[in-house]
Structure 1
Amino acid sequence: MPTRTLHSIKGNRGDLTVSCWENEAPYYVAVLVHGYGEHLGRYQHVADVLHVSGAVVIGPDHQGHGLSQGERVEIADFDSVVEDLGQVIDHYKQRHPDLPVVVIGHSMGGMIATRYTQLHQDEVAALILSGPLLGVRTAITDLDDLASLPDEPLDTKTLSRDSSVGRDYEADALVWHGPFKRSTLQSMKVMLNKIYEGTSLGVVPTLWMHGTEDKLVLLEESRPTLEKIAGGDFSCSFIKGARHEIFNETNRNEVLEEVRDFIVSRLPKVENSRK
C-alpha cells in the first residue's frame, strides 16, 4: 500500500492541502479531483489500484474542503478552483516532466476535471469521469431556486449499496455535513453553462462512468453535455444498480479495474511495462 503524504500549495483562496502517493517507478501521473463536501483522504483505495499500474497519484482538497483553507464548502467562482487544480498539476509536472497526466474526477470533481480538460487538452492524456455533475440544469443547482436551502443531512444510502460507506461518511469530521451555500450553487450554474458552451474534448480519451441508480447526480442530466462536448475517443460505462459513489460501491474492485484498464489501453508506455 503506497503511503500518502501531505503538502501545501498556495491557492486562490488560501493554502491548499495536496495529497500525494509517490511511486518509485512511475509511468504516469494520476490526478484525483474529489467531489462536493469531501476530501482526498477518502481515496486511499483508489490510489492503491492506480499505484500498481505505475501512477504517481496526486490531488488537492479543494478550497473550503477537507484540510484546505477557505470558508467551508463556499466557492464563489469555480474558475478559481480549476486554476487551483492547474497549479497542483503544474507543480508535479515540474517533478515528473516526461510523464503523461490522467485526470479522474468524481461528481463536482467531474465538473472541475471536465473544464480543466477543455482548457488544457494538450496536457491531458486521458480523462475519467465518475458520476460527473454536468448539465445546464440539474437537481442540485435547482436548489438555488428555493427561498431557503434545506438543512437536512445527506441520506448516505444514496452513496453506495455498501452500508459501511455511509457510516464512515457520517463519522468523517473532514466531510461537510451541513447545507449547501447559495454562492456555491450559483457559481456551479455558471460553470456548468461554460462547460456546455465550451469546446469539445477533442482527441483526449474520455471514459464516462455512472451508476444507473445514482439519485444525487442523475445520469440523464449529465448526458446532454457529455454528448455535446464528446471528442473522437469517448466511451461510456453505466454500472448497473450502482449509486453515486461508484468507486465505493459493492463492486468497487471491478469498477476500479475498468478505470485502470482504460488508462493502460490509452497509454502505450504503461501497457508495455505494467500489467
Structure 2
Amino acid sequence: MADSREHAFAGTRGGVTAREWPREGARYVALLVHGYGEHIGRYEHVAHALVGHGAAVFGPDHMGHGRSAGERVMIEDFEDVVTDVRAVEELARAAYPGLPVVLIGHSMGGLVAARYAQRYGAGLAALVLSGPVIGDWKAVRALLAPPEVPEVPLDPKLLSRDPSVGAAYANDPQVWHGPFKRPTLEAFARTLEAVSAHGSVGALPLLWVHGDDDRIVPPAGTRTGVEELRGAVWAERLYPGARHEVFNETNRDEVLSDVLEFVDGVLAG
C-alpha cells in the first residue's frame, strides 16, 4: 500500500486528524470523505488506487470519528464538517499548488461532499458520490419518530457480499458499533433539506456510484437527491447485487476502474 502521513489541525469543534497519501509528480488531488461511524483508514485501498493513478490523496477523520476529537459519532451541524473538509482541501492545495481537486464522498460522506460542492464547488474539478445519503433517506425519519432513538446498530453483513469486509468492520476498534444519537440524526435531516434546497452543482461533473442491493441507503431514495444535485455533466453506475460499500464489494476493481475512467475524462476535458 501507498505510504501515508498524518496531519493534525484545530477543527471547528476540536482537533481533527487528517491523512495524506503523497504522490510525487501528482496530476491531481483526491479528497476522500468517509461515512458515518467509520474512519479514513478504511479507505487505504482506495487511496492506493488513486495514488497509482496519479493523485495525491487527503482525507480527514470527521469530528467524533476515528482519531479526531469529540464525543463519538456526535455531529450537531454538518456545516461544521464541511468547514473541516475545507481546511483539508486548503492543506492539500498548499502542498500541491495548482492541481485540480476531485472530491469523493461515501454514504454520510456523500452528504457532506454534496453540501461541500454546493458551498465550494467552483474550486473543484469533479465530484464522485458513493452510496450517498441524499434525497429521500427514509431511515432518518423512522429513527427520529419514537421518543427514544431505537438501538439498531448497523449490520456489518449489509456492507458487502465479501464476508471479510463485515468481519473487519465488526472487529475494528475505531468503528462505532453503538446506536445513532438523536442530535446527529437531527443534523442529518436538516442537511438533507439543505442539500435539496440549494439545488444543482451546475457545471461541476458528477459521478454517482451505488449498489442496487444497498439496504442501508437504498438507491431509489438517493436518485431523488441526484436529480436535484446534478448539472449538465453527470454519469451513474448502478452495480447489480452490490450492497452499501461499493469500494469494498466483490466487484471493487470494477468500481474503482469506473471512478478512475471518469476522472481521466474530466482531466482530459
Q: TM-score, normalised by structure 1?
A: 0.95
Q: Is it true that 1:50 corresponds to 2:57 in the alignment?
A: no
Structure-2 change in CA distance of 1:151 and 1:75 (3 Å)? same
Cα deviation, residue 141, structure 1? 4.2
2:40 alignment partner AA: L
Partner of 2:32: 32
Contact 1:141 1:188 in 2 (8 A): no
Contact 1:9 1:15 in 2 (8 A): yes
Q: What percent of counterpart residues are identical?
A: 48
Matches within 5 A, 1:86-125: 86-125=86-125
Matches within 5 A, 1:90-169: 90-169=90-169
Unaligned runs of 5+ in 2: none
Equivalent position SS for 2:36: coil
Cα distance in 1, alignment partners of residues 146 and 209 from structure 2: 30
Contact 1:136 1:196 in 2 (8 A): no
What is the number of equivalent residue pairs in this alignment?
269
Partner of 2:233: 233
Partner of 1:193: 193
Cα deviation, residue 30, structure 1? 0.2
Cα deviation, residue 188, structure 1? 0.7
Cα distance in 1, alignment partners of residues 71 and 265 from structure 2: 40
Cα distance in 2, alignment partners of residues 209 and 33 from structure 1: 15
Contact 1:243 1:249 in 2 (8 A): yes
Unaligned runs of 5+ in 1: 270-275
1:11 alignment partner AA: G
Cα deviation, residue 137, structure 1? 4.5
Cα deviation, residue 247, structure 1? 0.2
Contact 2:104 2:113 in 1 (8 A): yes
Q: TM-score, normalised by structure 2?
A: 0.97
Cα deviation, residue 155, structure 1? 1.3
Partner of 1:273: none
Equivalent position SS for 1:153: coil
- CA RMSD in angstroms comes to 1.1
Runs of 4+ in 1 over 3 A off after TM superposition: none
Equivalent position SS for 2:160: coil
1:146 alignment partner AA: P
Q: Deviations over 1:134-181 (max 9, x none)?
A: 124421343111222222432111000000000000100000000101
Cα distance in 2, alignment partners of residues 87 and 185 from structure 1: 24
Contact 1:9 1:88 in 2 (8 A): no
Equivalent position SS for 2:139: coil
Contact 2:140 2:188 in 1 (8 A): no
Partner of 1:78: 78
Structure-2 change in CA distance of 1:67 and 1:131 (3 Å)? same
2:22 alignment partner AA: E
Cα distance in 1, alignment partners of residues 52 and 257 from structure 2: 11
Cα distance in 1, alignment partners of residues 78 and 61 from structure 2: 14
Cα distance in 2, alignment partners of residues 163 and 194 from structure 1: 36
Q: Is it true that 1:262 corresponds to 2:267 in the alignment?
A: no
